[in-house]
A = this chain, B = another copy of it.
Amino acid sequence: MTDSANQTDIDLTDRAVFAVWSRDLVRYRDIDPNGHVNNGAVNQFFEDGRIGLRDQRMAGVQPNLLTGFAVVNFNATYRAPISYPAEVEIGTVVLKIGGSSFHLGQGVFHEDRCAATATVIQVYFDPKTGKSNTLPDPVRSALEGAMVRA
């Protein structure tokens, strides 16, 4: 569960691999003392990409089935600085589906450039017990629909 998620041969700097897209606007508050968007803001962009996957692909799934996702591993590579102001696009794709967890690949893009990529492991768990849980069928189906096209 805590293995690195980054053993992927998918090129996450290539926009063509992603199944779902979200977008964000850079805020003045995102800039750090170096004048660039802080990595913490880039991490928020990745988070909005994951919520975009949920909102766009699991809209029909019962709400109570969607409360139990947790990120257990987040492995980000920052490739190019982003300035203010800017609009960024975040691509998200499902890389792998296990019994109670799944792996995502993500990319943050600014204009023609890939600014950052990440692989993420999310685990499905029971909020009451805190223990991992088998992925419900409607969630699994939605995830399968967001996998890399062969």
Choose from B35, B40, B70, B71 the contact partner of A44 (Cβ within 8 Å): B40
A73-B76 contact, Cβ under 8 Å, with A29-B40, A44-B29: yes
Q: How many copies does the complex hold?
A: 4
Produce 1/0 per residue, A46-61, CB < 8 A to B: 0110010001000000
Residues B85 and A55 in contact, CB atoms below 8 Å apart: yes
Interface of A is mostly: mixed
- Chain A: interface size category: 35 or more
Give residues in A with beta carbon < 8 Å to B.
Answer: 2, 4, 6, 23-25, 27-29, 31-35, 38-40, 43-44, 47-48, 51, 55, 67, 70-79, 81, 84-85, 127, 130
